[in-house]
Amino acid sequence: MSDVVLEARDLVVAYGGNLALDLPHLALRPGELVGVVGANGAGKSTLVNALLGWSRGTPRISGSVRLAGEEIGALPTHERVRRGLLLVPEGGPVFGRLTVAENLAAAEAAAGRRGYTEAEVFDLFPRLRERLHHAGAALSGGERQMLAIARSLRLGPRALLLDEPSIGLAPRLVSTVLRTVRRLVDAGLPVLLVEQNVRAAIEVVDRLVLLERGRILAEGPVAAMRDDPRIIEAYLGDTVA
Amino acid sequence: MNLVQQLINGLILGHAYALIAIGWTVLLGVARLVNFGHGQMYMIGAFMAWWATAPLGLPYPVAVLVAVAAGALLGLLVQAVMLRLTLEQNLVSIMIVTLGFGHVLRGAASLAFGGTPQVLETPPSLIEFELAGAWITAQDLLIVAAAILVFALLRGVVERGRLGRTARMVAEDPKLAQLAGIDVTRVYLAVFAFEGAAVALAAALVAPRTPILTSIGFEEVIVTFVVVVLGGIGSVAGSYLAGVGLGLFTALFGGFVSPAYTTAASFAVLTAVLVLRPGGLAAGRAVR
Ligand SMILES: Nc1ncnc2c1ncn2[C@@H]1O[C@H](COP(=O)(O)OP(=O)(O)OP(=O)(O)O)[C@@H](O)[C@H]1O
Ligand SMILES: [Mg+2]
């Protein structure tokens, strides 16, 4: 068990009578970057949100979530965050009325956890240093993603969940963001990455999970998955390199 | 009465208004919540202060503390009951629940304290002196001092420091605040405890000016509403200015035009300000 940082079992999410997610098992190991892909509405956001017991709506969530061996599936969201499970939700939201500096300062690692320092965060995202006194609302989409990730790093993550950090970004920025994510993983932080852009994801992830209608359709090491006909057919087309 | 006397009266009244309204200002600014039981919580605060002094014979400063503690508990209670609505930011239901809570409080107060008007006699109200032709009491000065102190403290807390930042995060996006590790439930409970404590403090200080009945509180909630909206919802400095402004307006209008129409005139002013400056007097600074 000790080689698993984050593990979910029988995670089930329903909105009203609609089953949005039914996940028997999912694990994230140290030093691992796992990509979650699937069509719109497949349940990717539902999955990462449910790991934190979080939602903008009012779903019913059940199942077990273990972080570093501790069962956290019944804890409120902020307690899971304090134990080191961090989520950058869809849209990479930041506090728009707080400045970049305040957004970062507000993210203090809970007692016993060591977060990234501001210097470390600026090293990863030099752009943020230049925007330090701008309001969050005045940032571009890419800068918001950077700030949202930076905030999570400040909070001292054991595992980081990113929900489409590259959405709406220019192609060049997409690869920049994904390479930064890879750097984080290589520095020891396991990441679960939801990504629409399968082609870009395949370049950086170690394992791929394919979701469809709330269920895992296929899962495996990226080397095997990139040859999986279901992936090729749905995401890579016939132009696969 | 001459102009200077009316201005002095207006200043005192204005600080009383600001003090009565401060709990709601924080409630709206930090949590985007409303409390239509505010007036009845004022009434309970006044009765608690009276009960602690007259029947129990406690010294006035202790009575103020009793009222404040009771107010904080009431605030916690109502928020604990409607926590789910708060987390869902279900404003319409919150209005109805707090309105209902106010009526329950009034009924409970009638049972407990009966229908006899009471007077909260305090040592500072007996110290009278003349200032520029106006007779004022030490109680009046206490109101002004307390209002300035509470507003200054609050401004210091909200504008600077960690507590204020947490409050602004919860105000802007409570869901996102959870992902930043903030216990939003605790913030909501704290804000409602503050609302209860603040309105009880206002009651314990302001109520000695008038007889205390279980039916009071309506005027206070109207005043609060005007002050909070006029000041720019959730703006601490705006509420202070609006409270003092409304007090001056009430005193001057009452003194030189007609006391019977001051409330109507206040609403006319409020309407005019809202049309001209939709964000209130402190537009731009307000936490919407
Ligand atoms: N707040 C909500 N209320 C009701 N149903 C919801 C809610 N959020 C998501 N759903 C439903 O749950 C299912 C999964 O949605 P989810 O947002 O997880 O998809 P996704 O894979 O993240 O899609 P996308 O790629 O568009 O972000 C969808 O059928 C969606 O309609
Ligand atoms: Mg999604």
> Between A157 and A91, where is the model more confident?
A157
- Return left, alpha or beta for A170; rule: phi > 0 is left, psi -120 to 50 is alpha, else beta: beta
Assembly ipTM: 0.92
Whether A102 has its CB under 8 Å from any CB of chain B: the answer is yes
* Integer Cα distance of B125 and B123 in angstroms: 5
Residues from chain A that touch B182, judged by Cβ atoms under 8 A, are 78
pLDDT tens readout for residues B224-279: 988 998 888 778 899 999 999 999 999 999 888 988 888 888 888 888 888 887 77
| Per-residue CA distances from B94 to A58, A195, B69, B186 (Å) | 18, 39, 23, 18
pLDDT tens readout for residues A36-59: 999 999 999 999 999 999 999 889
Positive or negative torsion for Cα A66, A54, A191, A136: negative
Q: Tell me how far the alpha carbon of residue A13 lies from the centroid of ligand 2, in angstroms.
A: 14
Positive or negative torsion for Cα A156, A162, A168, A173: positive
In a domain, B93, yes or no: yes
pLDDT value of residue B286: 38
Give the up-direction half-sphere exposure of residue A187: CA atoms within 13 A in the CB hemisphere. Answer: 14
Asked if pLDDT for residue B284 goes beyond 60, the answer is no
pLDDT value of residue A85: 97
In a domain, B288, yes or no: no
In a domain, B284, yes or no: no
* Integer Cα distance of B72 and B50 in angstroms: 17
Nearest-10 crossing angle of helices B60-81, B38-53: 150
pLDDT value of residue A238: 53
In a domain, B165, yes or no: yes
In a domain, B227, yes or no: yes
Residue with tokens 């394919």: A210
Residue with tokens 């919150």: B94
Tokens for B215, please give them: 């039916």
> Between A236 and A24, where is the model more confident?
A24
Q: Which domains does chain A have, with CATH numbers?
A: 6-240 (3.40.50.300)
- Note whether B254 and B149 are within 8 A (CB): no
In a domain, B143, yes or no: yes
pLDDT tens readout for residues B116-160: 999 999 999 999 998 888 889 999 999 999 999 999 999 888 777
Can you name the residues that pair with A7 across neighbouring β-strands? A27, A66
In a domain, B10, yes or no: yes
Q: Establish whether residue A166 lines the binding site of ligand 1, counting it when its CB lies within 6 angstroms of any ligand atom.
A: no
Residues from chain B that touch A97, judged by Cβ atoms under 8 A, are 168, 172, 287
pLDDT value of residue B285: 44
Asked if pLDDT for residue B36 goes beyond 70, the answer is yes
Searching chain A, which residue's CA lies closest to the CA of residue B166? A106
Ligand 1 atom at minimum distance from A57 CA: 1
Q: Establish whether residue A58 lines the binding site of ligand 1, counting it when its CB lies within 6 angstroms of any ligand atom.
A: no
In a domain, B283, yes or no: no
The values of phi and psi at residue A160, to 5°, are -120, 130
DSSP E strands: which ranges in chain B?
128-131, 134-137
Atom 17 of ligand 1, residue of closest alpha carbon: A45
CATH number (domain holding residue B40): 1.10.3470
CA B148, B154, B155: angle at the middle one, nearest 5? 90
CB atoms within 10 A of CB A126: 10
Asked if pLDDT for residue A128 goes beyond 50, the answer is yes
pTM for this structure? 0.87
Structural domains in chain B (count):
1
Owning domain of residue B169 = 3-276
Average of pLDDT values for A109-130? 87
With the most atoms of ligand 1 within 8 angstroms of its CB, the residue from A36, A46, A48, A194 to mutate is: A46
